[in-house]
A and B are shown apart, each in its own frame.
Chain A
Amino acid sequence: MRRLRKPTIAALTGLAAAALVSGCGGGSLGGGDSDDGGGGGDTATPVRLGLVVPTSGVYAPLGEDMKQGFELYLAQHGQKLGGHAVELEVVDEGATPATGVAATQRLLQGDVNAVVGIVNSATALGVRDAFDEAKIPLIVANAGADAITGAKKSDFVWRTSFSNGQVAAALGPQAAQTCTKGAFLVAADYAAGKEATAGFRQTFTAAGGKVVGSVFPPFGTTTNYQPFLAQIRQSGADCAYSFFAGAEAVAFTKQYAQFGLKDTVKLYSSGFLTEGGVLKGAGAAAAGIETSLHYSDQLDTPANKAFVGEYQAKFGESPTVYAVQTYDAAHVLDDAFKTGIDGPAVVKGLQGISSVDSPRGTWRFDDGHGPQQTYYLRRVDQGAGGLVNTVVQPLSGA
């Protein structure tokens, strides 16, 4: 047999590679005919949902809570939303927008009726156009960038979590009452930190408070906060407002106490500083910190008590705000799927939701498709089984 010439071999290899790639490109959900009918009556068709949460990397603890919140709602409703059986695919968002955007786009290439989740704001902003063009609804269950329900809002992007600026703004008027000598702002140097401090500054100064300085430690690489804490001490402020999450929250809270600021400069923060595993990590250093957030597992309402009880029975731990956000995402999809399960029908269903009864209280969607909700002033106190965020009072005006 004549030996194949080199260009022929190259061409054959290229052809084989192309065949393999196109074979793999179908997407793991496989093809199904999309349901064009849109009628709510056809409950025999299962809905395919994608849950994009971090299951690896630095945000994995949040992803776990979010998955559990969603699973609890499904378990309470017989694995059905809007009467349709749910086929759920959990996809790892990873720790960076690179992995998150890739994972979400892979879901979109499959045949999915809606996608829920996303922790990282950069990921959410990165996929917004893809959902808008594909006309598939995305329920953001954590990412807090203001633009997602603001400048970059879309008919197909909805949010059940929060926006950074609003959570912080709720604290401003309250802090203005106690911070007579002025407040110092310190936040991690990324979009969330910047938006949160801007939100706080706006309502704080409007209520008569004085901002005496601000500093933004580099995000993700700062382990030693002493130089920044020294600035706070030097400024003469009697309060500080901070925004940190995850490992940075633990490090900042502990060092705030270690360097003696805890007893001299009152610390306010957005609630992520003291939520979930972070509170356990910070330990006694977090006692007394007052935060604003749209949820605490200590909320004394019948709806929340029932939710906390069932969550603890099923998962052996107390729910966090991340679990509630995804629980509510399942709730709004449950309502919306009754109208239909193709993209535009789901959007119509979401638009028709007048209010959501949630463990966090009653809330509704605003014009940007984000939640208009009550924020609570919480304080870290010693509870029965460890440190908890007691609810001091609801905060007015966000």
Chain B
Amino acid sequence: MPGSLDTHLVTAVDGVAFGVLLFTIALGLSLVFGVMDILNLAHGALYLGGAYLAVSFVGDGGSIGAFALACLVAVVVGALAGGGLAAVTRPVAARGHLDQALLTLGIAFVVSDLYSEVHGNDVESVEPPAGLDGGVTLLGSQYPGYRLFVIAVGAVLALGAWYAVERTKAGALVRAAVADAPMVRALGVNTTVLVTGVFAVGAALVVLGGVLGAPILSASPGLDTRVLILGLVVVVIGGLGSVPGAVVGALVIGQVEALGVELLPTWAPFLTFGAMALVLLLRPAGILASGRAA
């Protein structure tokens, strides 16, 4: 569709905002899969939990303080949930992906029903916190300022994650475990602590993503499944177990969903999975693979 360059640039910016949300979802999934080879299908339910947290704390436009509090609670709750998931999946960690998938999917169903019990089945939307809810003029069109805020937060999170994984000792252990987990165990590292830590950080990040994304994606039953599928696609495209992989995959899918849909609207339903199919054909381990194929 013909459109001015300005419009396309705005759409590209929007694709980055969406990519940030995808990054928060995908990083935890990717690290857990990369480090422990555990398929965690309860990840989407964690995101939805963050979204409902935002509904409870901020609802119809709360203050920045309430929003910050929601973010803090999200991180704590996420870390606890991640630790819980690590403990629960330990028995099936060695039993292969099918068992892990069944267990975590079951947890996802139960949690999702609990959300419906507490919040009902209607779509709960969240207004951006006061101060971030204005529109800015971006290249001649109005653009929600909150999405620019999300991009900024995402940059900070990505940098922080990259630093933690690439420049700290704990991060080195994580990278080592992605490359060769049995060797790490043989060297005497307490892998239980490592696994719990990775789960906790990944879960904290995705619950935080849920809070950040609530003003954009709202909270409703079924959102957890949609988010999980997108997260899995990002992990497949970006490669397992690395921060740059999650960033690249998230940005790619973010652009596919934004710019791709604008330029090729008739092909829109096929674009995301088409991109995944293309990557699987050309680079089966992902664009920035650092370990084995997903």
Contact = CB atoms under 8 A, between A and B. Distances in A.
User: Chain A: interface secondary structure?
Assistant: helix
A299 B126 CA distance: 30
A233 interface: yes
B143 interface: yes
Given A218-B268, A247-B123, A260-B135, A233 B221 contact: no
Nearest to B272: A221
Interface stretch (B167-175, B179-187, B256-264): B256-264
B60 interface: yes
A34 interface: no
Contacts, number: 109
A223 B1 CA distance: 20
Contacts of A319: none
Interface string B245-267: 00000000000011101100100
B188 interface: no
Interface stretch (A134-142, A273-281, A344-352): A273-281
Contacts of B143: 259-260
B217 interface: yes
Interface stretch (B2-10, B97-105, B274-282): B2-10
A282 B125 contact: yes
Interface residues of B, number: 38
B166 interface: no
Interface of A: 56-58, 60-61, 64, 95, 189, 215-218, 221-224, 226-228, 230-231, 233-234, 246-247, 250-251, 254, 258-260, 277-278, 280-283
Interface centre among A56, A247, A260 (most CB of B within 10 A): A247
Q: Which 8 A-B pairs have the closest CB atoms?
A: A260-B142, A227-B262, A277-B122, A60-B121, A258-B144, A281-B123, A218-B269, A250-B123
Nearest to B254: A224
B121 A61 contact: yes
Contact of B218 (A58, A230, A231, A281): A281
Interface of B: 1, 3-4, 7, 10-11, 14, 18, 60, 116, 120-125, 127, 135, 141-144, 216-218, 220-223, 226, 257-259, 261-262, 265, 268-269
Contact of B258 (A64, A226, A277, A280): A226
Contacts of A227: 11, 14, 258-259, 261-262, 265
B232 to A, nearest CB: 14
A57 B135 CA distance: 34
Given A223-B226, A247-B218, A260-B143, 12 more contacts: A60-B121, A61-B120, A221-B269, A224-B14, A226-B11, A227-B262, A228-B261, A247-B123, A247-B223, A281-B125, A282-B125, A283-B60
